[in-house]
Amino acid sequence: MTLRFLPVGPRTLLVELPDLDATLALFDALAAAPLPGIAEVIPAARTLMVRSAPKRLADGRLAAAIATRVRRRPGKRLTIGKPIVMGRRTFEAIGRVLPHRHNIVVTRDHSYVAEGCTIADSAEGALSA
């Protein structure tokens, strides 16, 4: 995954990510395990603005620490052994069953079959699967 770090000021970095999913994944990772010295993280469609605490600089060490959060793939760590609910188009975009998880695919197509997945016809059905 390509990241760009753009300094906005002495205490602020703009982290540019490839898409909204990557932005939200990094935002969730930073919320779940905050880095010391970060005062605020503000997400947007393809960016995160990261402000460091007063008297802390947004330097290369902060950028390196943020980059390690992306490489850790927090979603995988958080979802192993748990059910994953996704729509049919998302499942087809992934192209495979996510291992070590109960994969639940929501679709209105009653004839849809996905090997290794539980099929539900609604969000309520997915929650009871």
- What is the overall mean pLDDT for the chain? 86
What is the C-alpha to C-alpha distance for residues 14 and 112, in angstroms, rounded to an integer?
A: 42
pLDDT for 47 equals: 93
pLDDT for 22 equals: 85
pTM exceeds 0.75? no
pLDDT for 48 equals: 92
**What is the H or E stretch that residue 120 is in?**
strand 117-120
The answer to whether 84 and 33 have CB atoms below 8 angstroms apart is no
Pick the CATH number of 4-77 from 3.10.129.10, 3.30.1360.40, 3.40.250.10, 3.30.70.2190: 3.30.1360.40
Determine the straight-line distance between the first and last CA of the chain, rounded to whole angstroms.
34
How confident is the model over 59-116, as pLDDT tens digits? 677 888 888 877 555 566 677 888 999 999 989 988 899 888 899 999 999 999 999 9
Residue 96: exposed, middle, or buried by beta-carbon count in 10 A (0-12, 13-18, 19+)? exposed
Q: Domain coordinates of the chain in residue numbers?
A: 4-77, 80-128
Helix, strand, coil proportions of the chain in percent (round to 5)?
35, 30, 35
